[in-house]
Structure 1
């Protein structure tokens, strides 16, 4: 009870700083610039610190120190931020130019000095350009229940992207999400099994916070069915082949007999 009262008094005096555990999600495409806005104005005796990463021991990547007699702006020398950071001396907002996947992560802001300590964090996601999904046929198998065709939808540059299959009626059939951003060239794949004899239209949709691409296709575009002949067709074919086989056999027998007769006559004339 006494501890809660003491902390409340500290808050009134400005000792306990305001802190938000929620990070503001910010999205940007590779190669673009993004500004992380503080929402405050830098006053005399304020100190603005920007850190990258979740570790409290991480060194500042940018800093503003404002006094009545001077204004100091400092940008860290980390290689990933080389010549890319810009500080606004009035608000303390941080701009990152020419973003890459290496700039994705947590940015922590601390403003202290003339006010209660102000903390804010940003979760930055840098998206590579989303490619158009490609649909390919993987296999076609015949079973007692009917033929099954397996398709796969492929996506490049899939960081934080979702890949989904939809039927012609807009019904979601399956989906998968990529949550890793270790590389600008990550990939994602999603399989789908369909019955090719039922001609339908499908779509594979790739989307993230920046863009959406859709590929429409028909089941017959990738799954070529191989129909088996019906029993009636086989019987009709057999009925047609039997007379032809008998006729060919009779023709061969007649030719052989005629040839033998000719040989017999030739032998008799020789005697």
Structure 2
């Protein structure tokens, strides 16, 4: 009987013991994640315990069907422990829930540890494409180019990439620092391909699409509107000057006639 129990425990340890491969779990800020024990039933398990971080902060445990929760404010009202499997679910997560979680499964005198690394990612914004020194022209005699700049502000754990159709052109990454990223791209007006700038992390992505012909059309429309506005301004100025000149001439004519009339009246009296 004792030998059978020992063999059972050894088999159990080999199944649920520390996995040589690192276990990683990702989650989005404001969402949830579930850490699984790998058990389908816990009738033979004496205790399941979850802890967090280098300080091994107690999160929760299950012993003889009784669940106990810790008092750490990071996990208060956010922890759910599945009674049948010992799986741990944490809801409404934030960056403070990123780290290493330790699972301990106890059967008799055998304690099997297991660690899981969790990374919580902040929502990523849609990247912004701006024109840097654009020179668009439909002239076939010369190749006009435009420099595009794709940017993302205050991001971390992301990669910013330029794509031409489905082909990756260039990319830049940032790890745990919250910084602003910018990635330039030079394109030709004659190029009819579609371009896109993609900002992504391991669990989500945001894409901004751009057609270079639309970019240049927008630029042409801008210059057309600008020229039209300048013409209107010049015409308005000319009309204004002409109106002022007409008023001056009219006043001068009236004064001249008045002076002439006064001279004639004086001559008659004399």
**Normalising by structure 2, what TM-score?**
0.61
Partner residue, 2:86: 92
Give the stretch that moved more between structures: 196-205 or 124-133: 196-205
* Shift of residue 165, structure 1, vs aligned partner: 0.4
Q: Does the residue aligned with 2:96 lie in a helix, a strand or coil?
A: helix
Structure 2 segments unaligned to the other structure (5+ residues):
1-6, 136-141, 221-270
Q: Does the residue aligned with 1:102 lie in a helix, a strand or coil?
A: helix
**1:151 aligned to which of 132, 148, 153:** 148
Distance 1:201 1:45 in 2: 58
Partner residue, 1:217: 210
* Shift of residue 199, structure 1, vs aligned partner: 5.8
Partner residue, 1:167: 164
Structure 1 segments unaligned to the other structure (5+ residues):
1-8, 226-271
Q: Does the residue aligned with 1:129 lie in a helix, a strand or coil?
A: coil
Equivalent residues, number = 204
After superposition, the Cα gap between the structure-2 partners of 1:28 and 1:157, relative to the gap in structure 1 and judged at 3 Å, is: farther
1:74-223 aligned within 5 A: 74-114=68-108, 116-139=110-133, 149-156=146-153, 158-168=155-165, 170-180=166-176, 187-196=180-189, 200-219=193-212
Distance 2:126 2:12 in 1: 53
Q: Does the residue aligned with 1:90 lie in a helix, a strand or coil?
A: coil
Quick check: 1:42 aligned with 2:42? Answer: yes
* Shift of residue 175, structure 1, vs aligned partner: 0.9
**Normalising by structure 1, what TM-score?**
0.61
Distance 2:191 2:21 in 1: 49
Distance 2:82 2:13 in 1: 26
Distance 1:13 1:214 in 2: 49
